Amino acid sequence: MKTLKLFVPLLSLLIAFTTANAKNIPDEGIFTKAHAIDTYVDAMTRGRLDGFDQVIDSSAKFTMLRKDKQLISCNKTQMISFLSKIRNVEENCTTSTTVIENTADMIVAKIDMQFEGFTRSNYVSIANTGNGWKIINVYSVFN
């Protein structure tokens, strides 16, 4: 009985200290590679911005090479501002996704948006940032 009286308080202390030292780790079920790609596609093709700002890293860069060879660049804030103006506008295109490179810490996906008469190809780089998988770079070209 004496052993039980000593064991219960020690177990309680162990549980309390373990819980107090637990790290706040993001839910891997939310911040996955697939979620980042799906959220990007939803934003670009359907104007759905729910969660878009969460899958974009704060240092992300968006670059677009237009047909006239004009290069346009913007950051996360500028891209979200632009997309907010066309929220819920669905593009008339067919979308396909191809994974070009997939490693433990990074993925590069090619997302083609096929419109009538041209294709917009988006090369999306996604990295495991320690706070989940986030988009760090998007390079878009028109063909």
In a domain, 55, yes or no: yes
Task: Please give the tally of structural domains in the chain.
Answer: 1
In a domain, 16, yes or no: no
Residues in CB range of 75: below 8 A, 6 or more apart? 60, 61, 62
In a domain, 88, yes or no: yes
Query: Are 38 and 50 in contact, with CB atoms under 8 Å apart?
Result: no
Mind listing the pLDDT tens digit of every residue in the chain (143 residues)? 455 454 444 444 434 444 444 444 344 456 899 999 999 999 999 999 999 999 999 999 999 998 888 999 999 999 999 999 999 999 999 999 999 999 999 999 999 999 999 999 999 999 999 889 999 999 999 98
Query: Are 76 and 53 in contact, with CB atoms under 8 Å apart?
Result: yes
In a domain, 67, yes or no: yes
In a domain, 59, yes or no: yes
The full length of the chain comes to 143
In a domain, 95, yes or no: yes
Residue-level pLDDT at 110: 98
Residue-level pLDDT at 2: 52
Token digits for 85?
């103006």
Range of the domain at 78: 24-142
In a domain, 4, yes or no: no
Residues in CB range of 108: below 8 A, 6 or more apart? 99, 100, 101, 102, 123, 124, 125, 126
What's the CATH code of the domain at 49? 3.10.450.50
In a domain, 12, yes or no: no
Residues in CB range of 63: below 8 A, 6 or more apart? 71, 72, 73, 137, 138, 139, 140
